[in-house]
Structures are given as structure tokens and as C-alpha cells.
């Protein structure tokens, strides 16, 4: 008789050695659905099919996002997007997109097991990121809804501006997550950021 193996977050074992923060928070958003979508943005039929499934339109402007209920579409390139959604939607969302795009020149790939999201929030967020990121993340140029692929402490990362707190979501490969989290803790220790233990189920 087979038994299901409980899911484990790549950062489930990391806990802050510091007291809870007053000036910001650092926490993982584990087990989200990560789908890579590729299609021709000039294909109105494919775009309409995706819109029907997602309920939101894909962002066509570089380095922008569109969001709906528990779902975000993130521009990665002229013909590529990352879809982030609640983990309960993974199988159904993948199947619905594949069905809707059947016969179209398009692809949908589930990357959920290979990536995770770290959320950094609070007034010191941009100062922390500036220690390891060369991008200009000033709110005047990196406003809520913006996204950018970059190197953070030499690790590939996708940054998403969530709100003007500011809150930044950092999408990284699963194998890089402990390193990036440890780097963020070290860079932010003067600001008292906390990293609570992630849920492992």
C-alpha cells in the first residue's frame, strides 16, 4: 500500500534567531502553483483562450503583471509568462490551459516543484535588496505591479512589486532558496527581520 509523501518547503527548517520584527517581515510563500506559459502574443485566439481560463488578461507590456483572485500573470519575455496561483489550483489550472490551447502553437509547463517565493516587506525592503541587486527599485520606477528578472546576491531571481509598503516577492529556484533566504537574513539583521518556520504540509 503506497503512502503519500508529505510536501516539504525548501525553507521549512529555517527559523529566525531574532525576535519578531517591527520594521518588516521576511517569510516564504510555499507551495504556490508556478506555471510557465509560452505563446505568440499576436495570436488573438490563444490570448482569448487563456483569458477565458484565467479570468484575467496576460500582461503584454514588458516587466508588468496582472492579477486576479489568487492568481497573477507575470511578463517574462515577449512570448513567455509565469502564472502564480494557489497550490490547490495546480492540476485543474494546468489541465484547463492545456485543453484551451489544444491545437495552438503554445505550451504550458508546471514548474511548481522547482521554485518558491520569498516575500520581503517593510520600510527597509529596498535598502536590503540594494545590498545585492543592481536594479533601480525606487518606487518612482518600480511601482506595484512591476516585475523584473535580475541577479540577487548572484542568484537568479524574479522580483515582483506587490504594494507600496513596499512588499517585494522574490521568486527563486528551489535549490537557491536557502542561500537567498540566509543572505537576506544577514543583509537585514540590522532591521530585525524575522523568518518564521514555513508550513511543511
H helices, E strands: number in the chain: 4, 10
pTM score, two decimals?
A: 0.89
Could you give all domains of the chain from N- to C-terminal order, each with its CATH number? 22-31+114-189 (3.30.1360.120), 33-112 (3.30.70.1520)
Using a 10 angstrom Cβ sphere, with 0-12 exposed, 13-18 middle and 19 or more buried, the burial of residue 13 is exposed
Q: Rounded to an integer, what distance in angstroms lies between the CA atom of residue 173 and that of residue 53? A: 26
Q: Using alpha carbons only, give the angle 115, 119, 120 rounded to the nearest 5 degrees.
A: 140
| Range with lowest mean pLDDT among 28-32, 36-40, 86-90, 182-186 | 86-90
pLDDT in tens, 62-113: 999 999 988 999 999 999 999 999 988 889 999 999 999 999 999 999 999 9
Amino acid at each position: 500500500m503506497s503512502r503519500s509523501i508529505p510536501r516539504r518547503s525548501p525553507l521549512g527548517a529555517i527559523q529566525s534567531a531574532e525576535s519578531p520584527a517591527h520594521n518588516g517581515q521576511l517569510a516564504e510563500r510555499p507551495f504556490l502553483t508556478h506555471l510557465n506559459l509560452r505563446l505568440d502574443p499576436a495570436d488573438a485566439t490563444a490570448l482569448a483562450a487563456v483569458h477565458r481560463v484565467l479570468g484575467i488578461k496576460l500582461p503584454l507590456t514588458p516587466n508588468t503583471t496582472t492579477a486576479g483572485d489568487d492568481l497573477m500573470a507575470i511578463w517574462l519575455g515577449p512570448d513567455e509568462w509565469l502564472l502564480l496561483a494557489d497550490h490547490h489550483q495546480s492540476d485543474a489550472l494546468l489541465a484547463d490551459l492545456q485543453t484551451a490551447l489544444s491545437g495552438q502553437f503554445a505550451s504550458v509547463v508546471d514548474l511548481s516543484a522547482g521554485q518558491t517565493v520569498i516575500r520581503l516587506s517593510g520600510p527597509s525592503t529596498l535598502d536590503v535588496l540594494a545590498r545585492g541587486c543592481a536594479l533601480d527599485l525606487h518606487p518612482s520606477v518600480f511601482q506595484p505591479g512591476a516585475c523584473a528578472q535580475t541577479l540577487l546576491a548572484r542568484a537568479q531571481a524574479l522580483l515582483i512589486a506587490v504594494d507600496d509598503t513596499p512588499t517585494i516577492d522574490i521568486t527563486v529556484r528551489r535549490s537557491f532558496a536557502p542561500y537567498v533566504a540566509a543572505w537576506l537574513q544577514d543583509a537585514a539583521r540590522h532591521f530585525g527581520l524575522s523568518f518564521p518556520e514555513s508550513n511543511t504540509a
